[in-house]
Structure 1
């Protein structure tokens, strides 16, 4: 008979550890924030509006997508649809760590995911798989990334110039490579290739034939469905 996994806990020490572990990646986030600040000014936002958007929204891809629709007349419904499509992955990300957070008090549980992004979620998910009980990585990592994003935006609006096209330097793939490394680092099960392949193929097909950003939802749903269809592997009886 297996013993239940201990419930999660959240304290200041764990949060500080999360901030420290996320600090190196946060340096790259400053560059993205700087690029957003510059781009926001070029699209007609004031410096205050750009900084407030970064501080209150904290969703880089969605913010850049919003700038593409920014103008005298803002198409509200397409803006909402694109924002939802880009961030729909958070539904699955939250569900993946829900069993870990379920033991926290409600106020801590919901506060823990306010600053959840790809990078701190990936590191927290890795901690969860390894049996860690402190969710400080999720909270502290989110704080570090949020501070870096706001700081970068401040630098962008303060100097009015910077890196407008981070893809020219390969900086646009840093987050994706980091997330992939965190997700597969502890996996040695070839069966996991099936949902990854299903998600990748579905996302590529959606990018070719469906509206922009639909590949986020399609890829996530395809990978999740493939994972559900995998035969369950029961524990070896002791």
Structure 2
């Protein structure tokens, strides 16, 4: 939750610079709850906004949720839709990783069900609330703070993902899609203007996963 606050403030500051209100940003972050696509959407925001471009980029950035949801589905299969669907709505990278780690630990102890829905939902709602509130505060206090990247707040976002990668590390092979995605995104960012690096990184990572699954 603490790690969410810096880049929530950063997103809010960037949104304020694009003319978004605290309420409109909190509605976006509350209904979407996927920081990567929200940063991309705010970066692409203009007046009037290029809605189709923003939607397509958001879909590509959030496409990783297809794989995350598929891995979580077996643990939710026994639940009715009225409980499973809210669990998926609140799914983000961090609560998914913590939920899967908890499920693996409970499975080793022969505990049933493997996924503790109370633990997962508790983590998810706590993270969701922190994210929505911090992005709204970013819009309000951002103009007074000025360029908060000079304090290193922009490093909070990649730092969280490095921590997740460390916690889920199972060897180089399982991390290969992350590495391919990183290399392709950086190369595209250096060679092409705009936000083309976002779909390039997402698609190359997904393509790597598909190729690896076929070989295995």
If the length of structure 2 is used for normalisation, what is the TM-score?
A: 0.81
CA deviations 1:7-40 (Å, max 9, x no partner) are xxxxxxxxxxxxxxxxxxx012122111122211
Conservation of the 8 A alpha-carbon contact between 1:37 and 1:51? no
Partner residue of 1:141?
Answer: 123
Conservation of the 8 A alpha-carbon contact between 1:62 and 1:87? yes
2:167 to 176, 182, 186: 182
**5+ residue gaps, structure 1:** 1-25, 231-238
**5+ residue gaps, structure 2:** 108-113
2:49 to 74, 83, 93: 74
Aligned equivalents of 1:198 and 1:216: distance in 2? 10
If each structure's helix is expressed as a fraction of its own residues, which one has the higher value? 2
Change beyond 3 A, Cα 1:148–1:206: closer
> Is 1:213 aligned to 2:192, yes or no?
no
2:183 to 188, 201, 204: 204
Partner residue of 2:40?
Answer: 65
Runs of 4+ in 1 over 4 A off after TM superposition: none
Conservation of the 8 A alpha-carbon contact between 1:29 and 1:148? yes
Partner residue of 1:168?
Answer: 152
Change beyond 3 A, Cα 1:97–1:65: same
Q: CA RMSD in A?
A: 2.3
CA deviations 1:202-234 (Å, max 9, x no partner) are 55235425832121232133134314533xxxx
Report the Cα offset of residue 93 of structure 1. 0.3
Report the Cα offset of residue 198 of structure 1. 4.7
Report the Cα offset of residue 137 of structure 1. 3.1
If the length of structure 1 is used for normalisation, what is the TM-score?
A: 0.74
Give 3-state SS (helix, strand or coil) of 1:165's partner: helix
Change beyond 3 A, Cα 1:225–1:101: farther
Conservation of the 8 A alpha-carbon contact between 1:195 and 1:222? no
Partner residue of 1:34?
Answer: 9
Structure 1 stretch displaced more, 77-86 or 207-216 = 207-216
